[in-house]
Chains A and B, each alone.
Chain A
Amino acid sequence: DVVLTQSPLSLPVTLGQPASISCRSSQSLVHSDGNTYLTWFQQRPGQSPRRLFYQISNRDSGVPDRFSGSGSGTDFTLTISRVEADDVAVYYCMQGTFWPWTFGQGTRVDVK
């Protein structure tokens, strides 16, 4: 199975400062159709996960533009340009290229 390794697992941040989460895959996530199915989810406390980005960097509706997704192949990054209180959550990457689809361990973002 494809292993996704997120780092850091815990990220204390100062409001207004940037934050960055890495997701590294055990193999390239380029699908045979040429697309890369790497997704980012946000899970706020007590809520279901919410999709933020699909295919690396395509932002879902309603996601603030202070969030961005980037990367290629095996290395991917979720960046928050200026963290707000509303961003306190656990963030997961997920690959949908190879079955079984798998998730990273999650990165907990909270305020210092």
Chain B
Amino acid sequence: DVHLVESGGNLVQPGGSLRLSCAVSGFTFSPYWMGWVRQAPGTGLEWLATISQDGSAVYYVDSVRGRFTISRDNSKKSLFLQLSNLRAEDTAVYYCGRLQLHSLDYWGQGTLVTVSS
């Protein structure tokens, strides 16, 4: 079975940093593009970032470009999202997912990031 498990979410002060991880199992990780999506409390979904199979191509939504960095380690079957200069509006559940045909066919359970003083 395909599994994606996010970790690293926490309470952090404005301006702070966090590193989110996504460990995958049940499929061969390296051939797939991967992505991160977030969901602020009680609201809808926002696509954040996408990364190619070898990490050479990355794409970000404007709201996080320059503050968030997506990366991966194929040897460890892991995806990462480095969050920096965090703002209150970054408070959300962060999901990782496997890309297939320009959408996510599998999602993790999410990890909660709370930005507050």
Contact = CB atoms under 8 A, between A and B. Distances in A.
A76 interface: no
A96 B108 contact: no
Main secondary structure of the interface of A (DSSP, over half): loop
Given A48-B95, A48-B109, A101 B44 contact: no
B40 interface: no
Contacts of A50: 107
A103 B46 contact: yes
Interface stretch (B71-79, B81-89, B97-105): B97-105
Contacts of A101: 47, 50, 102-103
Nearest to A53: B103
Contact of A54 (B45, B105, B107): B105
A30 to B, nearest CB: 12
Nearest to B107: A48
Contacts of B47: 94, 100-103
B103 A48 contact: no
A59 to B, nearest CB: 12
A21 to B, nearest CB: 14
B103 A96 contact: yes
Contact of B104 (A35, A51, A105): A51
A70 interface: no
Contacts of A35: 102
Contact of A48 (B59, B60, B100, B108): B108
Contact of A37 (B95, B103, B108): B103
Contact of A103 (B45, B59, B62, B105): B45
A97 to B, nearest CB: 7
Contacts of A97: 102
15 contacts: A37-B103, A41-B45, A48-B107, A49-B95, A50-B107, A54-B102, A54-B103, A54-B105, A55-B101, A92-B44, A94-B103, A96-B103, A99-B50, A100-B47, A101-B47
Given A54-B103, A60-B105, A100-B47, 4 more contacts: A54-B105, A92-B44, A94-B47, A105-B44
